[in-house]
Structure 1
Amino acid sequence: MTRRLLSVLLLSMPLLAAAACGRPWRVPFEDWRPYSFIDAKGHHTGLEVELLATLARELGCSVEYVQNVPRNRRLPMLATGELDLLVAASLDGPSPEIAWFTRPYRHEEFAAFVRAGAAPVPAPQSLDDVLEAGLHLLAHRGPRIVPLVDQFAARGLLTPFEDYAKGVRLLALGRGDVLVGDHLAVLDAAAAAGVSVVELSLPVRRDVVAYKLSRKRFSEADVVRFNEAILRLDAQGQLQRIRARWLPAGAR
C-alpha cells in the first residue's frame, strides 16, 4: 500500500509542476528597499527578490514582475488571476476566499519613528499614548499595521503614504509627528533622503509573513509543494543565508 501511494505521488509530480509552472509567476513589483528594487545594472534585486527567485528555482518555475501596480489593485488582480502571487503577506490579512497562504518564510518588524530632535516629551510608551497626545500619524497605505491606525483616521490624525520615500519626506516636512512602518524600509528611505530619524522605544508589531497565492492559478496541491520547498530550502540553510545578507540578526 505504501509503495503504491508513493508511486502515485511520484507520477503526479509532473502534473503538479505543470500546474504551478506552466508559465512564469506574475508578481507585482515595487521599489521597496531593501526588499525589492532595481540595481545600477538594471537587475531586480533585494531580499524578497532573492528569496522568491530561490523558491522558484527549487520548484522549477520562473518569475515575471509586473510594474506599477497600485496596492489597492493587487488583491482584485489576484482574485481575477491577473496576478499569481504576493510576497510578504500577513497571515491575518483579508481574502481567504481568493487566495491561499503558504507557511511563513521570514519575520517582519514595524516600528515608530520621529524626526531627530522632535521626540515628544514625555516619550510615549505605546501607540495609545501617541493617539491620546493628539500626535499626527504617518502610516504606510495597505493592510492596517495595527487596528489602532483606524482610530487615528477617525480623529483626523492620519496621513497614509504609498511608498516609504514619500513617508519620510512627509515626516521631514512636518506633515506628521510619528511615522510607523517597516523598520528596515523606513531606515533605508531615511538614509537615502538624508533625513535623520529616531526610533521610539515602543512596541508596534512583529510578525511572520507568507506568500499569498491566487486560487485562480494554484491548487491546494500546489500550496503543499510551496510549503515543502520552503522547508527544504530552510533545512539546507539557503533561505537563512539570503536573510543574513539583508537583515540584522534580530530580524531574520
Structure 2
Amino acid sequence: MPLRTLIALLLCAPLLATAGCTRALHVPFEDWRPYSFIDANGRHTGLETELLAAVAQAAGCRVSYVRGVPRNRRMPMLAAGELDLLIAATPVPTDQAWYTRPYREEVFGAFMRASEAQQEARSMDDLLRARLRLVTHRGPVSVPVINDFNAQGLLTWFEDYAKGVQLMALRRGDVLLGDSVAIAHAARAAGVSLVELPFDVVRGPVTYKLSRKSMSEAQLKAFDQAIQRLEAQGELQRIRNRWLAASAKPR
C-alpha cells in the first residue's frame, strides 16, 4: 500500500471512532439469496449481510434488521427516519437521503431456458423484436425497455427470484431479467436450467442509502471512510470473492 494512502487511512481512524451510532441502525430485512437470508441454523447471513456488518462495525455502528417491511414502504420510511439505511442503492437526486461511496458492483442480465436461448441476441431490443415475453422483478432498478415490453403486452412481474424462476419453469415467460447472481442462485436451487445471454442489461456500482432524517453527515463520512479503509485492506474484496465464487455461473 502506498505510504500516502496508509497515512490518510490512519488519520481517518479518530473520525471513525467518534462518528459512530448511539443506537443500532434499522435496516429492512429481505430474503434475497445469496445476498441476504436466514440459514439453516437461524443465522442471518449472505453477501450483503457480511458487507454491511463489516462496514457498520468499522464506522462505529451496529445493525438491527426490521422484518416485514413491504418494498414500496421502504423509501417513505427512510424519509421519515423510521429506517436508517437501505442496501444496494443506485444514486438518484433526492433531498431525503445521502448516498455513500460505492461498495460493490451490480449486474443485471437476461436469462432464457437452455433449450431456447437465443445466443445471437445482443440486446433487450432484439428480444423485444422477437416478441418474447419478459419476466422481471418489481425492484428499484429502472430499465427503460421494460416499459416497451409492457406496452406490447409482453410483461409479467414477480416479487422474488424463486418465483421468477418458477414462472420460467412453467413457461409463463421467455426471458427472465434481473440480478445475475440472484437468478443463477435461484435457478440452481430449483433445478431449472437457465442460460444467461451474452450481454449485460445493467452494470454499475451500488451504494448505501442513508436517511437524512435519522443520520448525520458525520455518520455518512464515517461510512465513506469505513468503505475506503476496508477496500484498501482488501476485506470487502475478500467477502465479495467468497460469496461470488460460490455463486459463479457459466455465461
TM-fit CA distance, 1:71: 1.3
In structure 2, what is the equivalent of residue 34 of structure 1? 34
Structure 1 residues 13 and 57, CA, compared in 2 at 3 Å: closer, same or farther?
closer
Q: Does 1:185 align with 2:182?
A: yes
Q: Does 1:209 align with 2:206?
A: yes
User: CA contact under 8 A between 2:17 and 2:60: conserved in structure 1?
Assistant: no
> What is the 5 A alignment of 1:1-252?
14=18, 16-17=19-20, 21-91=21-91, 93=92, 96-120=94-118, 123-248=120-245
TM-fit CA distance, 1:219: 2.0
Q: What is the rounded CA distance, in whole Å, between the counterparts of 1:40 and 1:11 in structure 2?
A: 38
Tell me the TM-score normalized by structure 1.
0.87
Q: How many residues of Structure 1 are paired with residues of Structure 2 in the alignment?
A: 235
Which AA in structure 1 matches 2:106? Answer: E
Q: What is the rounded CA distance, in whole Å, between the counterparts of 1:12 and 1:84 in structure 2?
A: 18
Tell me the TM-score normalized by structure 2.
0.88
Structure 1 residues 61 and 144, CA, compared in 2 at 3 Å: closer, same or farther?
closer
TM-fit CA distance, 1:153: 1.5
Which AA in structure 2 matches 1:175? Answer: R
Q: What is the rounded CA distance, in whole Å, between the counterparts of 1:53 and 1:70 in structure 2?
A: 23
TM-fit CA distance, 1:60: 2.1
User: CA contact under 8 A between 1:72 and 1:142: conserved in structure 2?
Assistant: no
Q: Structure 1 unaligned segments of length 5 or more: list them.
A: 1-8
TM-fit CA distance, 1:185: 0.3
Q: What is the rounded CA distance, in whole Å, between the counterparts of 1:144 and 1:57 in structure 2?
A: 28
Which AA in structure 2 matches 1:47? Answer: L
TM-fit CA distance, 1:12: 11
TM-fit CA distance, 1:10: 6.1
Structure 1 residues 189 and 234, CA, compared in 2 at 3 Å: closer, same or farther?
same
- Using the TM superposition, name which of 212-221 and 178-187 deviates more: 212-221
User: CA contact under 8 A between 2:59 and 2:219: conserved in structure 1?
Assistant: no
Superimposed CA distance per residue, residues 163-189 of structure 1 (whole angstroms, 9 cap, x where no aligned partner): 100110011111111001111100110
Which AA in structure 2 matches 1:214? Answer: S
Runs of 4+ in 1 over 4 A off after TM superposition: 9-13
TM-fit CA distance, 1:209: 0.4
Superimposed CA distance per residue, residues 7-41 of structure 1 (whole angstroms, 9 cap, x where no aligned partner): xx969963x32xxx121111111111111111111
Q: Structure 2 unaligned segments of length 5 or more: list them.
A: 1-12
Q: What is the rounded CA distance, in whole Å, between the counterparts of 1:216 and 1:188 in structure 2?
A: 36
User: CA contact under 8 A between 1:27 and 1:84: conserved in structure 2?
Assistant: yes
Aligned residue for 2:203, secondary structure, equals strand
